[in-house]
Structure 1
Amino acid sequence: MKSSTTFAVEIQQDAVDAADKPDGGVPRPSRVRHLALLTATFCALVFYAHYGVPGSMASALFKPPVTVSSLPSLASITIDQNSGRAEQPVMVSEGHAPLTPQATVLQATRSTAVPAPTRTPSDHCDGRYIYMYDMPPRFNVDLLRDCGKGRLHPWLDMCPYVANDGMGQPLADDGGVFPGRGWYSTDQFMLDLIFHARMKRYECLTKDPSLAAAVFVPFYAGLESGRYLYNYSISTRDALQLDAIDWLVRRPEWRAMGGRDHFLVAGRTTWEFRREADVDELWGTKLLTYPAVENMTAFVLETSPLTRSNFAVPYPTYFHPEAAADVLAWQERLRKVRRRWLFSFAGAPRPGSKKTVRAQIIRQCRASSLCNLFHCGGVIGGGAADCNSPAGVMRVFETSDFCLEPRGDTATRRSTFDAILAGCIPVFFHPGSAYTQYTLHFPRDHGRYSVLIPHAGVAAGNVSMEETLRKIPPEEVRRMREEVVRLIPRVVYADPRSRRVGFRDAFDVALEAVIGRVAKRRRGGGPGPEKGGYARGLQGRVRCRAGGRHRSGGEAAAGRAPRPVEVALVAIDGCARYCAVLN
């Protein structure tokens, strides 16, 4: 009873104290009453939180806090060009409900220093984003509007070839040579246009350069250069290229890395962009020699073994499949075709010398009943052979086991890729025609898909190509052909208008390479995959043949005579040394 009496006394005392105050003698609650009310309130809240409905105030009060990592990055907010409003993606962190825009704002205002957010694992473009400049049309599409005779080419009307995003006109099935879809009369110098068209439909394009793994410069350097290769002053040849460089280096995207994350496509050989001096009589332009462009990565049809910033990519062929099914159907057809010829050659002689590989090829092919000679521009058996006829060239290659691929006007030839497309095993006469060029697209084990016959022995007339090729067992020929057929997807450019390609083509391989190269540069690990000369580019193993004799690298260094062999597989570096001895 003592406690109750004390409690009553305290209440009375509170009332007396209150009466002495101006607001009257209203009883004032004691500290004990305050404590009791607080205890009851707390118990009620706990009970309500435990049994409350999800989404109620209780769940909001006792819900785990949202982590900063669940916030979307500012870069991920895209702007609707029509409405002018930001379109906020829903970002979900593990174990939590999606954030509403209001919750995002509340969370973001809790701290003045928000660390960089992490991308969600579902972002399949992470590390693959490409930022593409929207360049003034004078650097690309305006060039296509003036495509008539004497414009893009000194004596050809190029308008049929720039059609269909650079693929050219569709090819009809000429006697069963081009079954199915995806066949076009494609000019070998249309890569600028094909690559740009494909990039415009690339699934991981971004308008935010800070997200980009690499930056693409859609300047049609190859098409522009081709306009002025003949009988033009250097000021005319260089004008638009210098204009493009000046426009580029003023961009904030360029200044971020000085262009070291940029890349472009110049769809001709590197030699057409490496004029050594400012003399009108010299060939080509200086595009690839300017310091700003040397910072970039350039894809060309043929590169120099001395450059560190250019990479060779395949010449465009006649085949531009829309989907993987088109490739599979073509590959299956090649596995069944009957090949009547041991080897073939499509080309014309070079005037002025009879002591060249090409001259010997034509002479030996004419003398062999196992060779099919497609003499370009000449007359064979009363009929003219036209190397500009896609059906004619492909028909020759499809019916041959081996296709001879000597140097063209330069070290490489488009014919190499037409041969591969036909399932014909390419025969090279110099490593610089393929092995040191297409390191991104060709396997390192060159002997699996090709044959190398050192050119010096052929030019001297000491090597019989027929005898050399006949020594390869039929089973090995079938195995090599299968490797060639499997290589086809990597060396063709898919239809740039298709959104369902479904396989890695030459475009994808090149893009992956430049992304990897830029990533390595950002890490401070150097410029990425390099060539730096034949010795570094010749990796793997290759079939080296020279009249049935083989000299290893060690034997060549020691000066010993070559060992007679029937079929020799040697390290490519050793083969390169042997070829150097023969040269």
Structure 2
Amino acid sequence: MEKPGRSYNNHNQLWFAILISFILLLLCFHYSYTFRSPNNNVFTFSLNNNTDSCNGRYVYIQNLPFRFNQFLLQNCHILTRGTDKSNMCPYMKNLGLGPEIKNQNFNGVLLSNTWYATNQFLLEVIFHNKMKNYECLTNDSSLASAIFVPSYIGLDISRFLWVSNLTVRDSSGFELVEWLVKKPEWKRMWGRDHFLVSGRISWDFRRQFDDLAYWGSKFRFLPESMNMSMLAVEASSWNNDYAIPYPTSFHPSMDGEIYQWQSKIRHQKREFLFTFTGAPRPENEESIRGKIIEQCRGSSFCKFIDCSYGGEKCDDPVNVMKVFENSVFSLQPSGDSYTRRSIFDSILAGCIPVFFHPGTAYSQYKWHLPKTRTKYSVYIPVKDVKEWNVDIEKVLLRIPEKDVIAMREEVIKLIPKIVYADPRGKLDNFEDAFDLALKGILERIENVRETMRKGKDPSVGFADEDHYKYTFSDN
């Protein structure tokens, strides 16, 4: 016989269980959960994006065929350093950072085990490896604010830039967009939310005419490619190219290594007022390098490092940093193109850059360098040097010491923003060049998305479905 009160107790337990279930359901609606698998894939359950720290920051990495990236790493012997025919294989080590520089080679110039012989063309590999460890990756492309296309297009085009067959030069670019436009992710915004990275300047992909007299491939003039954004070490004047810093040889893996390096160069004694590290460009009539070298050689305040073929070892990070650490200012004229890796090597050494053309930095690295250029640099217009209206030494000597100290401090503060931290480490108190680049491209894509929501055309080369059907006919 059932004891009195048992039915009543069971009834209370049932209602208590219902109440707990209801509370848990409310919590599910209020919170968002993100799970990371061991291979860094991210799975997201979100019923209220207001509490999701990754809201607006999710990135989906497009799973490209082997030939667009890993093939190039595994066949690095076919890649060369341009006119220097030595292959790129040694630079593939350490996730694209290159061979580690050992302590015994520091000679008091470098600190800690965070220095590598990094090749500038490996930026796309470094960026990809950084992207793999990004905190807001997702396997659900419908949640993504941006689609990353991990094509090593700069390494790929380097094989064909000197090839006379234009079809060969252009083939990989055609193959990439042909593959992308068939994916469901593309049709959401017709590629406007896609971005890729190049370790070469964007002009290498903007051949305007099918004529051997013109350089590069025409990848960035394909309408499909024009819908995407490109991050490159140097941007063109087109509004879907964005400049991000050249990689230096310093890749810190923790905050303390940055603080330590900043402290070292802040107290560095500097023997020379200014320095120029580079080679003359006698074949380029527009270049002012010859006059800059002449002024430098004629000054007891200047140190000239000749980077002509067979000259001093300008690709040795220890040699490069030693020169910049001993100089107050560094002269940064245009090179083969507007920009130079030397800009970032000099900033890394606490050396104040002197620019001669706005396209060398001011109109390029808008996410990474201060808007007020006088805070961290000196500007001497090209024409003033060309027409011999300016003596560089006198210009620099006239700058008050207090202004020099303020500029140097601003340069030292820039260091975390212009270096790519080791993909295997983690910075807690700093945003590095990767973080700022990703933040910038996410904002750019969101602006395009908002413009499209309003029914406007943010046109930079919009290609619709009819164009794809016409361009990529099945045959």
Question: What is the one-letter code of the residue matched to 1:126?
Answer: N
Offset, 1:293: 1.3
Offset, 1:501: 5.8
Structure 1 residue 290 corresponds to structure 2 residue 211: no
Q: Secondary structure at the match of 2:231?
A: strand
Pick aligned residue for 2:306 from 334, 354, 375: 375
Checking the alignment, whether the CA contact within 8 Å between 1:263 and 1:296 is kept in structure 2 is yes
Pick aligned residue for 2:336 from 387, 405, 409: 409
Q: Percent identity?
A: 42
Q: Secondary structure at the match of 1:265?
A: strand
* 1:62–1:478 CA distance, 2 compared to 1 (3 A): closer
Structure 1 residue 484 corresponds to structure 2 residue 411: yes
C-alpha distance in 1, partners of 2:130/2:56?
Answer: 19
CA offsets 1:326-366 (integer angstroms, 9 cap, x no match): 11110000011100111110011112478842111111111
Checking the alignment, whether the CA contact within 8 Å between 1:411 and 1:432 is kept in structure 2 is yes
Q: Secondary structure at the match of 1:416?
A: helix
Structure 2 residues not aligned, in runs of 5+: 461-475
* Aligned twin of 1:273: 205
Pick aligned residue for 2:192 from 260, 280, 283: 260
Question: What is the one-letter code of the residue matched to 1:296?
Answer: M
Structure 1 residue 504 corresponds to structure 2 residue 431: yes
Question: What is the one-letter code of the residue matched to 2:61?
Answer: M
Deviates more, 1:367-376 or 1:167-176: 167-176
CA offsets 1:534-582 (integer angstroms, 9 cap, x no match): xxxxxxxxxxxxxxxxxxxxxxxxxxxxxxxxxxxxxxxxxxxxxxxxx
Pairwise mapping of residues 217-366 of structure 1 onto structure 2 (< 5 A)?
Answer: 217-305=149-237, 307-352=238-283, 356-366=287-297
Pick aligned residue for 1:434 from 339, 357, 361: 361
Structure 1 residue 129 corresponds to structure 2 residue 58: yes
Offset, 1:410: 0.6
Q: Secondary structure at the match of 2:210?
A: coil
The answer to which structure, 1 or 2, has the higher relative contact order (CA under 8 A, 6+ apart) is 2
Checking the alignment, whether the CA contact within 8 Å between 1:189 and 1:222 is kept in structure 2 is yes
C-alpha distance in 2, partners of 1:150/1:297?
Answer: 25
Question: What is the one-letter code of the residue matched to 2:152?
Answer: Y
C-alpha distance in 2, partners of 1:303/1:364?
Answer: 30
* 1:356–1:244 CA distance, 2 compared to 1 (3 A): closer
Structure 1 residue 165 corresponds to structure 2 residue 95: yes
C-alpha distance in 1, partners of 2:259/2:20?
Answer: 54
Scaled by the length of structure 2, what TM-score is found? 0.86
Offset, 1:273: 0.3
* 1:278–1:240 CA distance, 2 compared to 1 (3 A): same
Structure 1 residue 517 corresponds to structure 2 residue 444: yes
CA-based RMSD of the aligned residues comes to: 3.1
C-alpha distance in 1, partners of 2:384/2:258?
Answer: 38
Q: Secondary structure at the match of 1:184?
A: coil
Offset, 1:149: 6.0
Checking the alignment, whether the CA contact within 8 Å between 1:146 and 1:152 is kept in structure 2 is no
C-alpha distance in 1, partners of 2:363/2:284?
Answer: 27
* Aligned residue pair count: 446
* 1:373–1:201 CA distance, 2 compared to 1 (3 A): same
Offset, 1:495: 0.7
C-alpha distance in 1, partners of 2:453/2:335?
Answer: 34
* Aligned twin of 1:394: 321
Offset, 1:279: 2.5
Checking the alignment, whether the CA contact within 8 Å between 1:323 and 1:503 is kept in structure 2 is no
Structure 1 residues not aligned, in runs of 5+: 1-40, 90-115, 533-583
CA offsets 1:496-547 (integer angstroms, 9 cap, x no match): 22245652100000101111122222222799xx9x9xxxxxxxxxxxxxxx
* 1:268–1:62 CA distance, 2 compared to 1 (3 A): closer
* 1:354–1:228 CA distance, 2 compared to 1 (3 A): closer
Q: Secondary structure at the match of 1:344?
A: strand
